[in-house]
Amino acid sequence: MTTAGSLHAADALLPGGWARDVLIEWDAAGRLTRVQAGSRCESAQARAAGPVLPGMPNLHSHAFQRAFAGLSEYRAEQHDSFWSWRTLMYRFAARLDPAHLEAIATWLYAEMLAAGYTSVCEFHYLHHQADGRAYADDATLSRALLRAAQRTGIGLTLLPVLYQASGFGGLPPGDGQRRFIRSTDSMLRLLETLAQPCAAQGARLGLAPHSLRAVPPEALRDVLAGLDAIDADAPIHIHIAEQTREVDDCLAWSGQRPVAWLLDHAAVDRRWCLVHATHMDADEYRRAAASGAVAGLCPSTEANLGDGLFDFPAWRGHGGAWGLGSDSHACVNAAEELLLLEYGQRLALRQRNVGAVAAHPEVAEALMLAAVQGGAQACGRPVAGLVAGEQADFAVLDPDQPALQGLRAGQMLSAHVFASHRTSAIDSVWVAGRQRVDAGRHPLHDQAAAGFVAARTQLLED
């Protein structure tokens, strides 16, 4: 149970930038009631060990894939790509049971918290038994994710995935997809079933039409109408324009590129998260940004799969919102996702400090503040940083970490992102006013890690 509390920070990263001597107060519901710079620290006041950062939302996760990370780094075809990786991933997904999923997600969510993520959007498409039959409780695998989030304390936006076809034009699904397939009506029933358990633990419920290739136009229309009848403000996430083959196939099917088709056939607005959106033309960048949708960037996964690079300057030039996800979890480190985003742009443009803006010339600061805002929008939850009315989600940097020692607050954040060598410089993490990580470790670390290793070992043996 959360209780009202407070913390004094010598330095805190507020939505407008760094502030000194910040008093942070929250109520028993875990909502921030006061964030006041220039405040005196009383002798009995709890003090942050180091600079305080807003909690980072992770806007795109496939939890089960954490157990598959690192297991596909060998050449299986002459030209390996996302598509050959997906075939291997399907084989792995076919073996999972509810206990495996819960063990994997529990460890993953503990890892996320220790790395500074305080919320996660779970893009959940593993619905059924291995042979495609529904479980007696159709929400069995969704409930496993809810339990994992509740045990670890991470904030959750649960996004059950509608998946009906193997390609544009309603191609029949393959055997590797049978655990994912749902009718539109069964998806809407699942959302109705999950509404109460999500509300009971403060999780947000939304919907993820998997992609335009997996959801035919009529089904997309009908499921969006059904979602509006259930919750007209629910978040909507979709994979789109991740690979060039997807763009080519969409052009062959419809005569339009994927993002253009979506904007012409759905009421895309601030509720939407366009996951990846890597391959857009100039008009798509302009129109998608103007819609208010969030671009869901997953730099480590997009690099791991060879997807390509998002045109970050073009998106920001149109005022587009964006956030970060860890997707397949080849990397579970919020700072490293920021680093990879910036480095990808540097390599593409052959210039430095691409992520900086006039108001925030330090790259790490500029990127973190924008990612928090866009991530909160995609989550559909009040987690948009250190400001009264938002949830008390924050992380504290460890000033004794060698890469950070002796630096001012802004430099510490830069060193955390660009110089901590894949180790976390996070000391503690708080979610809804409750401490979830202390001295860099989640209290379930050992237990959750053992459960994860046991589950992965069994899956590989089987």
Annotated catalytic residues are 276, 327
Are the CB atoms for 212 and 248 separated by under 8 Å? no
Cα torsion for 402, 403, 406, 412, to the nearest 10°? -140
Contacts for 229 with CB less than 8 Å, ≥ 6 apart: none
Are the CB atoms for 248 and 271 separated by under 8 Å? no
Query: 360, 307, 409: which is closest to 60 by C-alpha?
Result: 307
Q: Which residues partner with 296 through β-bridges?
A: 275, 323
Task: Determine the Cα–Cα distance for residues 165 and 375; give it in Å rounded to an integer.
Answer: 29
In the chain, the largest separation of any two C-alpha atoms, in whole Å, equals: 69
DSSP code string of 296-325: EE-HHHHHHTT-----HHHHHHTT-EEEE-
Task: Determine the Cα–Cα distance for residues 257 and 261; give it in Å rounded to an integer.
Answer: 6
Are the CB atoms for 227 and 233 separated by under 8 Å? no
DSSP code string of 102-123: HHHHHHHHHHHHHTTEEEEEEE
| DSSP letter assigned to residue 180 | T
Cα torsion for 256, 306, 107, 6, to the nearest 10°? -70
Q: How are the residues of the chain apportioned to helix, strand and coil, as percentages rounded to the nearest 5?
A: 40, 20, 40
Residue position matching structure tokens 């590129």? 257
